[in-house]
Structure 1
Amino acid sequence: AASLGAEATVDLGAGDPAAAVAAWAGRGCDAVLVAAATDSSEPFHTAAAIARDRARVVMVGMTGTEFPYADFMKKELSVTVSRSYGPGRYDPDFEGRGLKYPEGWVRWTETENLAECLRLMAPRARRARLDVGALITHRFALDAAEDAYAMITGGGEKHLGVVLTYPDGDAAAPPLAFPPPSAGGGAALGLIGAGAFARSVLLPELKRLPGVTLRTVVARRGANAQQTADAFGFARASSDDAAVLDDPAIAGVIVATRHDSHADLVARALKAGKSVLVEKPLGLDGDQLDAVAAARADSKGFFQVGFNRRFAPMVVAARDALAQAGGPRFVLLRINAGAIDAASWIQDAGEGGGRILGEVCHFVDLARFLAGSPITAVTAEATAAEGPCDDVTVTLRHGDGGLSTIAYTALGETVAGKEWIEAHAGGVTVSIDNYVKLTTARDGKVTASTAGARDKGFAAELAAFARALVAGGPAPVDEAELLETSRATVAVLDSLRAGRRIDL
């Protein structure tokens, strides 16, 4: 510390720190920075002892926080917990979306602070103004990183700053090289997006499908892509979408990224002549849906949206019973969705689109499937006039005169059951309780069937995509119908904004 410019240093184990500080400064410290890392609260006791009356104690590190009340009260000490880096830290608009604060009001944001730190560390004349060399105790080559971590966690050697070194190289990305197709492996699949949903729901089913091979997985983080490849048997992992979209050996693409990228990836896959299954939603607005439709018009591939509920066995049985009854249908869907954090990416209008575009779309498609008739008009009302819209009723008018009502709420208790489906047509009533019980009433009789496990249709959805891919089409679900339900979902937001019915 003395070599780096400290005017006085105190060994806490060798004497009274308060007396040492008083001897140096003539009084206590104006401010005390606690830069320790320990579960003990002793650093707070020491800070109180060496601080002057009405001084500041700033917690930079992470320690125990059971501070001595009497010492802090008598000196009227102020405690601040440093948020690190400066204004902008933990602000998703600043850090994630690139929105800047006005320079005239916030001169030193975390961006400027970090840039200034780097500037001070850069060599000038003989030496850098901020010399961190003395903090570095060890250097390891990058390929010896495991040895570095072993040294740190082993506790046998004193260390402070540990640096990993690597040789300078060409910063340009190497050209993509595609491995040869596997012989006799069936249609090759590429996955873009390897988040929790893809890993826990999609990939276990995809791995079991006959006639397809898992060729390439792409994720934003290369380590995640490689871990997914190793766990599920992909031949290749990458962080570049082109590894899937530009590979001539890949026939089918699964898109499981965040919502704002869906339409673009679908359009690019179609333009590359590939078929694609995209998780919902297909797009976040009419322009994105138009781009998908235009790409599909010129493509030999097809697209499918992850509206899995229309593939659920109980939903298919209910649809068949309604079709036999004939005539227009009256469909009721109640979804007790549960609350999610307002700060979730799903609630961000630009990235997730909100729960209407991201989740209610499932039920618009389900209502369309059960009603068996095109959606011609949409009317919606919500409990909130602005902000995240988690509680909404949607009425869909169908071309044959039928009606569907969707009641979607985040206000309920989830143990009460998430989804209730009820539909009526021509003297027939069907109801589905959370995909485990189907009840059918007709001709004065009621029959019921139960399932041992909840089946929302994921396996059947993926199997249908694989069969169509191997056979070269057609799409398992009418693509015009998928565009229709996607446009109807966008119209839900239009209806809420306009306060009226939206005709399609």
Structure 2
Amino acid sequence: MGTSTPGESGALVTVRIGVLGVGRIGRMHADIIANETDGAEVAAVFDVNVAAAAEVADSLRVPVMSIDKILESDSVDAVAICSSTDTHVELIARAAAAGKAIFCEKPISLDIAEVDKALSAVREHGVAFMVGFNRRFDPTHAAVQEAVSSGRVGDPHIARISSRDPAPPPVEYIKVSGGIFVDMMIHDFDMARFVVGSPVTEVYATGAVRIDPAIGEAGDLDTAVVTLTHANGCITTIDNSRQAVYGYDQRMEVLGSTGMAVSENPMKNAAVVYSATERQGSVLPYFFLDRYTDSYRGEWQAFVRYAREGGSSPVSGEDGRAPVAIGIAAWESYRLGTPVTLSDG
């Protein structure tokens, strides 16, 4: 997609991105950068799984490089950190010191002190930094946010978010994920702040193991409901389930003083069949990529504009920090059985 020579304004014409981690999510990001994002190209890839790195590199016709080489290279302008969560903070600090623009998958870390350490490095070196909360860029969710922020539904009173996966992840993943509140519901905590347009001041969480006892034995829940109170007085309820047998269920609504905005599920297709006895439509998408591919495209378009033109981060470090704080408070609330007050949500 061209070279990374500066344009007349000094901004990069093409942002050359090194992808750190090419497992399932990193491979998807690399493909979108290479094939669907104007003004960006994959400069190199890295993964601890040498075979996976080689496979992605071969498919995109880019080199495999070590992390050191990617960070040292003058042919790399930015990095996409798509490796395991426990590597994020170190990679953010190293990339910031190297002067690279940074995209980091969520969460920054499972530990608030570590999140703060990463954000301190970003501020110290003054680099562009964006967190991968892709659902902000889903067209239907974004339309709900616009309806609230523009005042079309008046003052927000109640928000509701449902996020239900079609099947649980492997138990081995659950053991290291941070649990349902920090792994799965973290997206919904971000969406609550984004759509309502107000920080969270109180968290009340409840949950259960209703799907697989092995999830409980791993120290997690598979069914959970959280109530958030926002600084502007709005109340958000979020429900999560690790298994909705009918598909990948993602819905949202905001009730305001003068109206309501709703983001419904898209069906796999829009066909409806009528007969003398029934009306039959399609089913929900089953896989998260079927539902959110457009949001990932929008996320990368936003990052490239930000890396090229500067300005405010589309999803800032503070936006990345707050959902982690809310998730930690949700676990505390669940264990105590009482609401937990937040000062940094």
- TM-score normalised by L of structure 1: 0.56
The residue aligned with 2:61 is 233
Residue 205 of structure 1 is matched in structure 2 by 32
Task: State how far apart, in whole Å, the 2-side matches of 1:331 and 1:496 are.
Answer: 21
Q: Secondary structure at the match of 1:339?
A: coil
Deviation of 1:459 (Å): 0.7
Whether the aligned pair in 2 keeps the contact of 1:275 and 1:301 (CA below 8 Å) is: yes
* Residue of 179, 185, 193 corresponding to 1:360: 185
Q: Percent same amino acid at aligned positions?
A: 27
Q: 1:344 to 1:377 in 2, by over 3 A?
A: same
2: CA distance, partners of 1:206 / 1:214:
6
Rounded Cα–Cα distance in structure 1 between residues aligned with 2:126 and 2:184: 29
Letter in 1 for 2:118: V
CA contact (8 A) 1:329 1:425 kept: yes
Distance of 1:266 and 1:414 partners within structure 2 = 38
- Give 1:454 deviation, angstroms: 4.4
Aligned mates of 1:189, 1:328 — CA distance in 2: 39
1:330–1:424 Cα contact (<8 Å) kept: yes
Q: Which residue does 2:331 correspond to in 1?
A: 493
Say whether 1:424 aligns with 2:255. Answer: yes
Counterpart code for 1:333: I
How big is the shift at 1:260? 1.9
Partners of 1:488 and 1:278 lie apart in 2 by: 19
Distance 1:231 1:421 in 2: 37
Match of 1:18 in 2: none
Determine whether 1:395 maps to 2:227.
yes
Q: 2:145 and 2:3 mapped to 1: Cα distance?
A: 40
SS in 1 for 2:184: helix
1:382 and 1:326 map into 2 onto residues whose CA distance is 32
How far did 1:335 drift? 1.7
User: Residue 143 of structure 2 aligns to which amino acid in structure 1?
Assistant: A
Residue deviations 1:283-336, cap 9 Å, x none?
111122111221122022122111111111111111122232332331111122
Relative to structure 1, is the Cα distance of residues 224 and 326 closer, same or farther in structure 2, using a 3 angstrom cutoff?
A: same
Separation in 2, partners of 1:286, 1:472: 27
What runs of 5+ residues in structure 2 fail to find an aligned partner? 6-12, 210-215, 269-289
The within-5 A match list for 1:79-478 is 184=5, 186-199=14-27, 201-207=28-34, 208-234=36-62, 236-238=63-65, 240-323=66-149, 324=151, 325-341=153-169, 343-345=171-173, 347-349=174-176, 352-384=177-209, 387-415=219-247, 417-435=248-266, 454-455=291-292, 457-478=295-316
Cα distance change, pair 304–342 in 1 and its aligned pair in 2 (3 A): same
CA distance in 2, matches of 1:244, 1:473: 25
1:433 positional shift: 1.9
Structure 1 residue 481: Cα displacement = 2.7
Aligned 8 A contact 2:207 2:223 in 1: yes
> Deviation of residue 372 (structure 1)?
0.7
Instruction: Give, in angstroms, the shift of residue 405 of structure 1.
Output: 1.0
SS of equivalent residue, structure 2 residue 171: coil
Instruction: Give me the whole-angstrom Cα distance separating, in 2, the residues matched to 1:270 and 1:189.
Output: 14
Which letter does structure 1 place at the counterpart of 2:225? T
Indicate if the aligned counterparts of 1:329 and 1:371 stay in contact, CA closer than 8 A. Answer: no
The number of residue pairs the alignment matches comes to: 303
**3-state SS of paired residue (1:388):** coil
CA contact (8 A) 1:393 1:408 kept: yes
Matching residue's letter, 2:329: A
1: distance between equivalents of 2:324 and 2:97?
A: 20
SS state at 1:273 partner: coil
Radius of gyration: which is bigger? 1
Shift in Å, 1:251:
2.0
Contact 2:4 2:16 in 1 (8 A): no
CA-to-partner distance for each residue in 1:244-291, whole Å, 9 max, x for gaps? 233343221101112222232223222322221111112111122111
Go from structure 1 to structure 2 and tell me whether the alpha carbon gap of 1:270 and 1:499 turns closer, same or farther (over 3 Å shift): farther
Q: TM-score, normalised by structure 2?
A: 0.80
Letter paired with 1:289: V
